[in-house]
Structure 1
Amino acid sequence: MTPDEKKFAELLRELDDGPDRPARVDLATAIREARRRRRNRRTLTASVAGVAALAMVAVPLAVQAGRPAESGLAMTPGASTGANPPPSAGGSDNASRRPTPAAPSTCKVELLPVPHGYRKSLVTGGDSTGRYLLGRSYPNDSGSHPVIIWDGDRASEVQMPGNDQRLADISPSGVAVGVAYAGDRPQPYVVRSGKVTRLRGVTAGEATAISDDGRIVGARQVGERQLPVLWSGPDETAVDLPLPGPTWEGIAIGVDSDGTIVGKVQNGAGRVFQTAVWRSGGKPELLPLPQVTGGTADGVIPASFHGGWITGKAFRDKGSERQVYAVRYHLARGEYVPMPAEIMMYAGNGEGWMVGSIDHIDVGLLTDAGLVRLPDLDERTGRYGAIATSVSAGGRVIGGQLDTKPNLQDVEMRAVRWRCH
């Protein structure tokens, strides 16, 4: 087995004690970060791995904003610990005026084709329309992983240089961005029409997201620090995004076509993460930390930014246990908005809907209308292991992977697509 697969098997074994046991891991984040956690160095995404490494308890979100919750998340718009007050409306406001589509109620799954017949593969991202999905395959146990771009049912393998190659995001026009490693140094790349190009102005770093009009964000690495950056186009040179102070660092995770950028920042290594918003190149605004069970969250890690919605995880330590809460923030309204059910969130879309893990091992789509469980290949909802890693606008196309073997000693991950209606 590859290192990714061994780690996935270990995580599934930890969850094999029965459904009444609290969830201990975020499977979606863990499989994404398994290889990087093996490195004896701090990486651009180590903060997410740190959350997954601690014991976790998923908490229900069926509460009302602004009210304390007996259990779950009480999301109060004005709650803050040293952060700026919620910003006024603006930034991605056009997206907030779009009517919300009807939520899907059923989904069907299909295996994605993989070049050269590689049987082990996974999905790492997708575009907002559902046309494109991104992934990588495992031809052997080496550190090199050919990346894949699916355009509908057509799969194209892309040869990126280096090791641990990964595409993170793709625009509706088919321009993808990601990272590959040269030794221990991450390198940012853009892929256009099958051509791989190194992004300019960054000696070490990664590209994490691209807007519909071609703006790219990510981070550059300077020693042990990570600094958020913006490329105004695939052929442009990276520029640093301003930070609240000289000791701050972080990474940009999403960008809209109006120029609004979202990232996660911290005041020095090892400090709590907060969500930062840059509007049209301005200074960063720190969003408030939400109120969760027991008080104010200890930190927030934004994961997705689409259509004015920021989705991610808030966490609060309770003794040796870390409780994790899926959260979403509506930028134009300046408030956290609760959802009707719990989920261990991985990715979100422009409606503020989420995909992630439920019941320890199942996966689902969570919309304002409720939770839709994603079926296995034989139409069951129970399975040996599954992860959902991307969701399109309207929740119509979801990308992820399934473990197709019951033997946890021989995990076989297969890239899949769920079509929902």
Structure 2
Amino acid sequence: MPSELDLLRSLNDEPRTRSTVDVQRAIADGRRRRVRRGAGYAGAATVTALAVAGASVAGGVFNPAPSQTAATGAPRTTASAPPKAEYTIPGTAGWSAAPATPPTSCTLNRLPVPDNAPMALVTGAAPTGRYIVGRSYPKAGSYQAVVWHNGSVQKVMLPGDEELLQDVNSAGTAVGWSWAGGSEEDTGPVPYVYHDGEVSPLQGVRRGSAYAINDAGAIVGDDTGRAALVWPSATAKPVRLPVPAGTSVATARDIDEDGTTVGTINDERPYVWFPDGTHRELPMPRIDGVQTGSARAFSIRNGWATGVASRLTRGGKGTKADRANNARAVRWNVRTGEVRVFGELQGFPNEVNAQGWQVGTDKQGRAVLVADAEPVVLPALAGGQPTAVSNIATTLSDDGRTVAGQSDDATDTIQAVVWRCR
């Protein structure tokens, strides 16, 4: 899942350092003033981030089954597979979800918040929808990580400041990060795992972030962007995922149940690491007939990967802001190489489930669930004209029956919510 900070970093060439202001709250306020969508979750006005798609080959040509055809109808080409790497990504091999019928309507409920905190939001959820993670804002400038389980809520006491749980699996094990102080060169996020009521730092990195965990317990993230990492378990040291020569920045953002991992290299090329050790860039789509210039991949589930692509502008020399303004939601089938641009969504999807369905915001500023049928509009806490930031769906269960996110109440305050769909 993408974050607000992803968007800010994509527009900022400065080193990654802690902001001196409450970035998430500032984003929330700023987005309301702009009344347009700019990125996703991880902050008080959250959910999703801009990104983009990339093609070509790292270690070999993308080699889907020769019997498949591309989304454009052109025949696929074949090539020898890249050499096998000397590592494997842990996961549960051969998994698949039973097909589900898309829902046609959803009802909205607020999630309870500890200590009657005035504001809260959702950042991630388990594939079943029974566990949801997020954080509350007990008072100005304070943060509290929380876990919801079947409607009940409890606080998670992460060390440090600006704590955030990013994801949780079906067993209730959650991962995230919290900011740690120190010397100017040694400040930054520290990755943590929460399991059976205990919080522990992940091994092998002094500073870094944990973004996702699968049901096998494998965790992915990075060491502040320098390398994409996978922790085989909550107690294991991380494996540094291989990247093409010349890569300066890499991050792993999500991991499938079979161990397939997606992320981004050099802040502009979407990348996939397979459980057998092979790895490559994801194919690049065309947007409005124009070649895509950059891309990121944020989520994967049952072989469906999602992210954002933006087309080239100004003769291929557009700025990062240009790329952000020209972004489109993209979905890849990592098994076949098919790539599709979704015009129904404004900017980017926030999550994908095992069916390939997505949640995001449509061009009218409404939170929607996009399946194979007509998009399902998700109701809001307060009435009035939607603004693309007032009602945001962040997570989607595999069966499509549970969606979680945030919605502004009548006082324009962000509240953590869940939609039950049928």
Q: Considering the TM-score relative to the shorter chain, is it more than 0.5?
A: yes
Pick from 50, 53, 66: which aligns with 2:72?
Answer: 66
Deviations 1:327-364 (A, max 9, x none): 11112222114557334322211211111112353211
Closer/same/farther in 2, CA of residues 226 and 214 from structure 1, 3 Å limit = same
Matched, 1:395 2:400: yes
Shift of 1:2: 6.1
Deviations 1:167-207 (A, max 9, x none): 11111001000011103311000001221100000111011
Query: Equivalent residue for 2:284?
Result: 289
Closer/same/farther in 2, CA of residues 380 and 172 from structure 1, 3 Å limit = farther
Q: Show structure 2 runs of 5+ residues with no match.
A: 1-20, 53-69, 83-90, 182-186
Deviations 1:239-267 (A, max 9, x none): 2111111534211111123222211112x
Query: Equivalent residue for 2:27?
Result: 7
> What is the rounded CA distance, in whole Å, between the counterparts of 1:140 and 1:381 in structure 2?
28
Query: Equivalent residue for 1:59?
Result: none
Shift of 1:130: 0.7
Query: Equivalent residue for 1:370?
Result: 374
Closer/same/farther in 2, CA of residues 161 and 252 from structure 1, 3 Å limit = same
The residue correspondences of 1:18-417 to structure 2 (distance < 5 A) are 24-29=36-41, 31=43, 48=49, 65-66=71-72, 94-95=94-95, 98-142=97-141, 144-183=142-181, 184-221=187-224, 225-266=225-266, 273-280=268-275, 282-319=277-314, 321=322, 322-337=325-340, 341-344=344-347, 345-359=349-363, 361-377=365-381, 382=386, 385-405=390-410, 411-417=412-418
Shift of 1:323: 1.1
Q: Secondary structure at the match of 1:393?
A: coil
Closer/same/farther in 2, CA of residues 50 and 366 from structure 1, 3 Å limit = closer
> What is the rounded CA distance, in whole Å, between the counterparts of 1:418 and 1:379 in structure 2?
16
The TM-score with structure 1 as length reference comes to 0.77
Q: Percent identity?
A: 33
2:193 partner amino acid? V
Q: Secondary structure at the match of 1:237?
A: coil
Determine if contact 1:304/1:349 at 8 Å carries over to the other structure. no
Deviations 1:148-184 (A, max 9, x none): 1000111011110111111111110010000111033
Q: Secondary structure at the match of 2:350?
A: strand
> What is the rounded CA distance, in whole Å, between the counterparts of 2:94 and 2:38 in structure 1?
33
Deviations 1:261-289 (A, max 9, x none): 211112xxxxx522222122514211121
Bigger drift between 360-369 and 152-161 goes to: 360-369
1:124 partner amino acid? T
In terms of fraction of residues, the more strand-rich structure is 1
Q: Secondary structure at the match of 2:309?
A: strand
Determine if contact 2:39/2:50 at 8 Å carries over to the other structure. no
Closer/same/farther in 2, CA of residues 33 and 14 from structure 1, 3 Å limit = closer
CA RMSD of aligned residues (A): 2.9
Query: Equivalent residue for 1:61?
Result: none
1:182 partner amino acid? A
The TM-score with structure 2 as length reference comes to 0.77
Deviations 1:88-130 (A, max 9, x none): xxx998445x442100110000000001111210001101001
